Structure 1
Amino acid sequence: MRILFNYTITPVLCAALVIMAVVVVVKQQKIDDLSHRLVLAQKTAEARKVMVEEVRLLQKAKMSPVRTVTVTAYNPSTDQCDDDPLMAASMRKVRTGTIAVSRDLFDQGWVFGRKVRIEGLGIFEINDLMNKRYHQRIDIFMWDESQAREFGRKNIKAALLDI
């Protein structure tokens, strides 16, 4: 009787374990899907917030004449910056949403703290200066070097905002 019990119960227990494992996997997939949807919703909300802020600033701002400048990207490394790549020329920390401008633009009033609208990219704050060898140029700060390299070099319209 004991042997019969083992032969009938063991397959049932194995089947139950397999079913429970499948249920756990399906539940985990649902959790992963919901987590992914939450991340997408958060990113969408952040993007909307940025767009609303940009529209608010543009409605409030007076723009200087639009000019075409060379736009590149940089990240905090000593080969692209000076000895302290985390400190900008404005003596403030580097951060996302800021730019460095060439010295000729700086001399024309594109100074620290001013906002610049770059067509198709958004509104940025001037926080840093570029090397004196560059002219009519803006460098967008990015933390990720591969992202900065991928951005490359573009000729884009930009305007200094009076906010």
Structure 2
Amino acid sequence: MSFFTAESPAPKVEEAPLSWPPEEETEPLPAAELPQTLTVSASIYHPEPGQTDSTPFITADGSRINKRDPKIHRWIAVSRDLHSRWGGEMEFGDSLWITGISDELDGVYVVRDIMNKRMHRQIDILVGKRDPIMGRWDNVQIAKLD
């Protein structure tokens, strides 16, 4: 055996066909569907007879409002056109993601009340009389989470 014909000490590499099929190109998976958003106006309300019915601490679905700190519940009232009883998509107990008001008020709320029939495409956020929050906001986005 000559020096030039000696085998290398490196392992011998065999080229064999793959034992599994190569990956086929696939279409990307569709992104998870985002909840449908709805643009509404928003305002705040206090649990008092001038802004509610004759039972200000009981909501339309029968929930009892904390008299000392109503805001703690993060409950809202929706206009009748948004509620399922009148053909809308929201029901009592639905969680809604709300954006477009403020850092303090944006977030998740639960539908517990109904607004007066003269209101349309609107939500009302329950707060206490002593909470320093006032206002009305347009172009607020809501999305049903349930």
TM-score (norm 1): 0.57
CA distance in 2 between counterparts of 1:75 and 1:83 reads 13
**Corresponding residue number in structure 2 for 1:18:** none
Deviations 1:39-94 (A, max 9, x none): xxxxxxxxxxxxxxxxxxxxxxx753111100100011100001110000001113
Aligned equivalent of 2:49: 78
Q: Which has the larger radius of gyration?
A: 2
Paired with 1:146 and 1:92, the residues of 2 have a C-alpha distance of 21
Compared CA separation, residues 89 and 114, structure 1 to 2 (3 A): same
Query: How far apart, CA to CA, are the structure 2 residues paired with 1:105 and 1:63?
Result: 19
Quote the offset at 1:145 in angstroms: 5.4
> After superposition, where does 1:81-160 map in structure 2 within 5 Å?
81-94=52-65, 95=70, 96-107=73-84, 108-119=88-99, 121-144=106-129, 147-148=132-133, 150=134, 152-155=135-138, 156-160=140-144
Gaps of 5+ in 1: 1-61
Of all paired residues, the percent bearing the same amino acid is: 34
Aligned partner letter, 1:109? E
How much is the aligned-residue C-alpha RMSD, in angstroms?
Answer: 1.9
* Consecutive aligned runs of 4 or more in structure 1 exceeding 6 Å deviation: none
State how far apart, in whole Å, the 1-side matches of 2:130 and 2:45 are: 7
- What SS is found at the alignment partner of 2:81? helix
The amino acid across from 1:97 in the alignment is R
Any idea what SS the aligned residue of 1:73 has?
strand
- Distance in 2 (CA, whole Å) between partners of 1:145 and 1:117 is 25
In 2, Cα distance between equivalents of 1:73 and 1:157? 16
Q: TM-score, normalised by structure 2?
A: 0.63
For the Cα contact (< 8 Å) 1:103–1:130, is it kept in 2? Answer: yes
Please tell me whether the aligned partners of residues 74 and 139 of structure 1 are also in contact (alpha carbons under 8 angstroms). yes
Segments of 5+ residues of structure 2 without an aligned counterpart are: 1-32, 101-105
Q: Between Structure 1 and Structure 2, which shows a larger proportion of helix residues? A: 1
